[in-house]
């Protein structure tokens, strides 16, 4: 019996050793990631900017909806707006027969109602403008694609304010040459120039430099980060990885995984993770999104929800459904989590960076509890926890049976 117990304990020890060797990085990152004291919910909405003037009415309606919901501190619900700062000047592009690119800025008089609605929401404390891009594509790549793809050429030459969301997904990536697949890297000096330019454009239009950047389609690289950081960006929103291009099938290619909230990059920016989704136009419901909030809260992590303006710019039926689901989301979230906190992404990033004791736990027990919960999210680690716990229980039972003089099972 003693040999059996020793063998089981040895097996448990070996399993844990293998688990630590295989998942040591995950375990360490889970420990280093800040532990939140309260549930945090931020709705991050992308792609707002030049385009249909219907955006202005939608933004005003969103602003009114957000003010209806407050957390225990009295803070209204927040929606961040990742802004596109420019769009194709289709008239000038048509004149050049698609050979030269021209742009029109969000600051153009034609888009004043959209910009006014954004500013009003910021004044009410329910909107927070963030940098998304100058354009939601690399202009030279788009022109090159228009030469070979009729649908892209038709989009570019349209007489309407077409949404960039209608472009093929790979062409919506700004920081690579996506004129064809697989994508190719852009020259570093062109990236640096363009990244600096879009920060300056944001400052000119919004009146302050952006502190948070959201890379279009989550494709970007270290050169982009370095240029953003030199220009004042402190936080980059990520999906938990950094994608640097797409392969011949359009699949995203990563050069950095294991990104967690608060991780400092070599470039100097700090990462935040947005990997939960709220796209009612795609069938997402308030209840499904609450499951993400519940999971993140158990992990003591913030919940950053990804959504897009296209949800609210469809037909009337779709728009009404999206507004209805958004209201239900806030209602249910406040009911289920009475201590829920509403913050901007920048405020969250600063609180994590400064280890604000009002939001970030410093005690050992909450951090240990969060660490175990996070580690158990990893399937193979969860299996390891379960099997070794079962093995330990069996060993203890065998030892107790031996002491009592009972036959072993």
SS3 of 152-184: HHHHHHCCCCCCHHHCCHHHHCCCCECCCCCCE
Is 348 domain-assigned? yes
Residue 116 has a CB neighbour count (10 Å cut-off) of: 13
CATH number of the domain where residue 352 is located? 3.20.20.370
Distance set, CA 194 to CA 80, 199, 215 (Å): 23, 9, 13
Is 401 domain-assigned? no
Number of structural domains found in the chain: 1
Is 234 domain-assigned? yes
List the pLDDT tens digit at each of the 409 positions of the chain.
566 666 655 666 666 666 666 667 888 898 999 999 999 999 999 999 999 999 999 999 999 999 999 999 999 999 999 999 999 999 999 999 888 999 999 999 999 999 999 999 999 999 999 999 999 999 999 999 999 999 999 999 887 888 899 999 999 999 999 999 999 999 999 999 999 999 999 999 999 999 999 999 999 999 999 999 999 999 999 999 999 999 999 999 999 778 999 999 999 999 999 999 999 999 889 999 999 999 999 999 999 999 999 999 988 999 999 999 999 999 999 999 999 999 999 999 999 999 999 999 998 888 888 887 888 777 766 666 656 655 445 444 444 434 443 333 3
Is 388 domain-assigned? no
Is 331 domain-assigned? yes
Is 6 domain-assigned? no
- Domain membership of residue 263 as a residue range: 36-360
**Peptide bond connecting 182 to the previous residue in cis, omega within 30 degrees of 0:** yes
pLDDT for the residue 2: 62
């Amino acid at each position: 019996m003693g040999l059996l117990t020793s063998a089981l304990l040895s097996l448990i020890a070996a399993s844990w050793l293998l688990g630590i060797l295989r998942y040591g990085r995950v375990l360490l990152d889970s420990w280093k990631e800040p532990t939140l004291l309260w549930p945090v919910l931020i709705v991050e909405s992308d792609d707002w900017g030049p385009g249909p003037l219907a955006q202005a009415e939608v933004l005003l309606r969103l602003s009114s909806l957000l003010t209806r919901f407050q957390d225990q501190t009295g803070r209204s619900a927040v929606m961040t707006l990742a802004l596109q700062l420019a769009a194709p000047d289709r008239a000038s592009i048509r004149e050049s027969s698609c050979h030269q690119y021209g742009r029109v800025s969000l600051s153009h008089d034609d888009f004043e109602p959209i910009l006014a609605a954004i500013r009003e929401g910021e004044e009410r404390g329910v909107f927070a403008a963030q940098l998304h891009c100058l354009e939601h594509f690399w202009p030279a790549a788009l022109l090159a694609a228009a030469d070979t793809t009729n649908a892209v050429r038709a989009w570019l030459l349209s007489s309407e304010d077409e949404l960039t969301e209608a472009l093929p997904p790979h062409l919506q990536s700004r920081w690579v040459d996506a004129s064809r697949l697989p994508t190719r890297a852009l020259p570093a000096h062109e990236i640096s120039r363009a990244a600096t330019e879009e920060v300056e454009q944001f400052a000119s239009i919004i009146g302050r430099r952006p502190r948070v950047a959201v890379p279009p389609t989550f494709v970007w690289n270290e050169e982009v980060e370095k240029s953003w950081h030199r220009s004042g960006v402190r936080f980059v929103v990520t999906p938990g990885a950094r994608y640097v291009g797409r392969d011949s099938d359009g699949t995203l290619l990563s050069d950095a995984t294991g990104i967690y909230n608060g991780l400092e990059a070599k470039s100097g920016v700090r990462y935040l993770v947005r990997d939960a989704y709220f796209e009612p136009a795609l069938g997402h419901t308030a209840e499904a999104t609450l499951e993400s909030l519940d999971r993140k809260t158990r992990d003591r992590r913030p919940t950053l929800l990804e959504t897009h303006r296209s949800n609210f710019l469809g037909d009337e039926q779709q728009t009404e459904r999206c507004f209805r689901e958004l209201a239900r989301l806030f209602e249910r979230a406040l009911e289920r989590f009475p201590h829920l906190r509403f913050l901007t992404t920048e405020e969250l990033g600063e609180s994590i960076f400064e280890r604000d004791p009002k939001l970030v736990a410093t005690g050992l027990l909450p951090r240990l509890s969060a660490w175990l919960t996070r580690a158990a999210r990893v399937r193979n680690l969860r299996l390891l926890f379960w099997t070794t716990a079962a093995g330990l229980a069996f060993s203890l039972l065998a030892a107790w049976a031996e002491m009592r003089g009972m036959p072993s099972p």
